[in-house]
């Protein structure tokens, strides 16, 4: 073995100076803590050599050379990833079931809807699809170039990787992966709700030569980032929170402004409280912070307005968010405000005066949800981020935060971070309660129930306005769909109940992409006090039914039937069914030609059944497994390997 050495080099411009080129001898003993080469088996015509990588080696593509008698021989190339199976790796995850879920699972669920009706959307992360690992490293290369930070030794740090990826998802102005659709129509691209997986987005980004793919919203950003980070070896999951305060500048005192008819006013086309928001959590040890901050870190690729720093947020320790440690770096204060804001409603009167409205306290950061380990069940993880509303621990955290805010405001007038939420001092003597079904199937009428309680000690004349608006997921209204006014005289200690139905014909044509409706009730009494209530509901599309044949043979074509029961009174036209199935069909397919059957033809309601036969649907499964052990086959030009394990 004398004179025989192994060397590796990483990156396009590797050198010994920046530690991207290392040379080490082939020996009979390996070293588990650093780069080393051990002779496992020696024959006259071939050697078997095992190469060990340190747990803190930078991830990336490496060239492996054999140096003998002043001759360098390229043995091959390999790609090194983070290793959550290695105890010395910063992303080490001790639970095997969680490793299977948050690294190896390519099938996921993203939650959306409202806090009272959480809906599930399947998602194909596809982190092991052909070519994805190369796209991920291309993404890192471009991101480092944009940040003018080409020190590839930083790639050993998962914090650095997470921030680079988050910047590239949506916040890099010139070379980002996705363009945010905002409230615009998506005629020149794919609407965010039409994506089924991450792989097609990343591949389209490469096809467009680094130009952003149109379009995405928060759940698409989070899903793509989950795919990239899982591909690189960082345990990651997608998280959804309902009633989310956005662009608050770290201020938990949120103001919303409505007109007298109950329509939210958004002159800048943005709302402060979103119906739901989706971000990521990634698992890592935080050697830069206190030990208790290790574990899940919140990472948000959706752009938001900040006083300083990049427009994405994180990775922020989830434990720091829960404890109100808003001084901790990486945007803990922004996450805390988004999940602990209290909303105050103002009514913009016809005479241009703003009047405060009495409203039940509207809290943000509700029903924080993620897919559970090993099942399709929705897991509520709100307790990871905050203590129960109204509990003593929550009060202590809020008091601590407000004390810190006052101190920071006294130190720096430049940073207006948070102000203590004010409250209405007048006594509430009228109470209103608005109620409806939390979700409806498309085509159903909306049942509205409003109860008004008079505790004023005397009879009151009231004016009630009920309204329905369609809205985007980010809280911005699309249009007023229905409005009706009522006048009541409510006796003291009396309860008045009103029930109305809003027909589908009034709201069906302008639902918007997210199928969300905001129901509002505005009451003004004879003393000019204003009372306000609102409820948000989801309008669900009828479910698709997928039927497989009773017997399916591996590698043999098969036919499935996809059916949809039309609940509307009119026929469906220009139908398109988009189908995706990793290991079954290549990429997504669109089918425009469908067969229509008229059912219950004797009634006035026409029901259509859309049947689609997918001919020659291969059931060949992709048996590309990812486990802890790897065999280095040097004929492969790029093999993903885990750190500390070749």
Please provide the distance, in angstroms rounded to a whole number, between the alpha carbons at the two ends of the chain. 20
Any residues with CB less than 8 A from the CB of 511 and at least 6 apart, and which?
442, 470, 517, 539
Dmax over CA atoms of the chain, in Å, equals: 105
**Residue 460 DSSP symbol:** E
Nearest to 497 by CA among 472, 468, 526, 464: 464
Query: Is the peptide bond prior to 315 cis by the omega test (within 30 degrees of 0)?
Result: yes
**And the tokens for 533?**
């209530």
**Neighbour-count burial of 593, counting CB atoms closer than 10 A to its CB (0-12 exposed, 13-18 middle, 19+ buried):** exposed
* Catalytic residue IDs: 218, 277, 300
351 phi and psi angles, rounded to 5 deg: -85, 15
Radius of gyration of the chain (CA): 29
Tokens of 276: 């739901």
By C-alpha distance, which of 595, 589, 598 is closest to 610?
Answer: 595
Provide the residue count of the chain: 646
Long-range CB pairs of 382-386 (<8 Å, 24+ gap) are: 384/296, 384/318, 384/322, 385/241, 385/318, 385/321, 385/322, 385/335, 385/339, 386/321, 386/322, 386/339, 386/340
Pair type for strands 530-540 and 439-441: parallel
């Amino acid at each position: 073995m004398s004179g025989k050495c192994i060397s590796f080099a990483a990156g396009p411009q590797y050198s010994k100076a920046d530690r991207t080129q290392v040379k080490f001898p082939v020996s009979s003993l390996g070293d588990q803590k650093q780069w080393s080469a051990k002779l496992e088996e020696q024959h006259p015509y071939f050697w078997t050599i095992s190469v060990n990588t340190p747990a803190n080696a930078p991830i990336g593509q490496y060239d492996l050379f054999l140096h003998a008698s002043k001759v360098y021989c390229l043995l091959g190339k390999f790609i090194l990833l983070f290793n959550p199976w290695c105890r010395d790796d910063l992303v080490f995850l001790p639970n095997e079931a969680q490793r299977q879920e948050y690294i190896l699972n390519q099938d996921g669920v993203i939650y959306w809807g409202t806090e009272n009706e959480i809906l599930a959307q399947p998602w194909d992360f596809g982190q092991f699809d052909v070519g994805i690992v190369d796209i991920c490293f291309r993404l890192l290369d471009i991101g480092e170039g944009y940040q003018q930070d080409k020190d590839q030794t930083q790639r050993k740090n998962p914090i650095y990787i997470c921030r680079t990826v988050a910047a590239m998802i949506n916040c890099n102005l010139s070379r980002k992966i996705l363009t945010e659709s905002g409230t615009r129509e998506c005629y020149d691209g794919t609407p965010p709700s039409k994506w089924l997986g991450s792989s097609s987005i990343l591949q389209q980004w490469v096809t467009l030569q680094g130009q952003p793919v149109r379009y995405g919203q928060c759940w698409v950003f989070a899903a793509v980032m989950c795919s990239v980070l899982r591909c690189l070896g960082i345990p990651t999951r997608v998280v959804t929170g309902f009633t989310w305060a956005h662009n608050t500048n770290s201020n938990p005192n949120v103001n919303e402004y409505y007109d007298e008819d109950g329509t939210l006013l958004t002159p800048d086309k943005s709302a402060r409280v979103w119906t739901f928001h989706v971000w990521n959590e990634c698992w890592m040890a935080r050697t830069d912070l206190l030990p208790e901050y290790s574990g899940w870190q919140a990472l948000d690729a959706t752009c938001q307005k900040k006083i300083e720093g990049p427009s994405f947020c994180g990775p922020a320790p989830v434990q720091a968010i829960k404890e109100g440690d808003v001084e901790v770096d990486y945007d803990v204060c922004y996450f805390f405000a988004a999940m602990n804001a209290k909303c105050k409603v103002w009514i913009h009167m016809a005479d241009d005066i703003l009047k405060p409205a009495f409203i039940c306290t509207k809290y943000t950061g509700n029903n924080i949800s993620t897919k559970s380990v090993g099942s399709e069940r929705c897991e509520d993880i709100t307790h990871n981020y905050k203590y129960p509303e109204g509990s003593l621990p929550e009060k202590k955290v809020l008091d601590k935060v407000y004390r810190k805010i006052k101190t920071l405001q006294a130190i720096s007038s430049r940073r207006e971070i948070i102000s203590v939420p004010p409250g209405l001092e007048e006594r509430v003597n009228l109470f209103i309660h608005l109620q409806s079904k939390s979700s409806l199937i498309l085509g159903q009428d909306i049942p509205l129930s409003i109860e008004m309680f008079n505790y004023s000690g005397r009879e009151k004349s009231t004016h009630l306005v009920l309204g329905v608006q369609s809205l985007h997921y980010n809280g911005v209204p699309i249009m007023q769909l229905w409005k009706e006014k009522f006048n009541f005289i409510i006796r003291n200690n009396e309860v008045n109940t009103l029930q109305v139905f809003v027909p589908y014909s009034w709201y069906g044509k302008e639902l918007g992409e997210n199928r969300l409706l905001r129901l509002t009730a505005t009451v003004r009494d004879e003393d000019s006090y204003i009372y306000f209530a609102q409820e948000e509901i989801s309008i669900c599309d009828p479910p698709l039914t997928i039927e497989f044949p009773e017997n399916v043979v591996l590698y043999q074509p098969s036919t499935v039937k996809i059916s949809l029961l039309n609940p509307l009174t009119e026929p469906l036209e220009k139908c398109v069914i988009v189908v995706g199935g990793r290991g079954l069909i290549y990429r997504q397919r669109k089918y425009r030609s469908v067969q229509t059957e008229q059912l219950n033809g004797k009634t006035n309601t026409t029901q259509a059944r859309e049947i689609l036969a997918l001919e020659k649907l291969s059931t060949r499964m992709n048996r590309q497994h990812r486990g802890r052990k790897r065999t280095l086959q040097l004929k492969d030009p790029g093999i993903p390997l885990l750190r500390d394990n070749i």
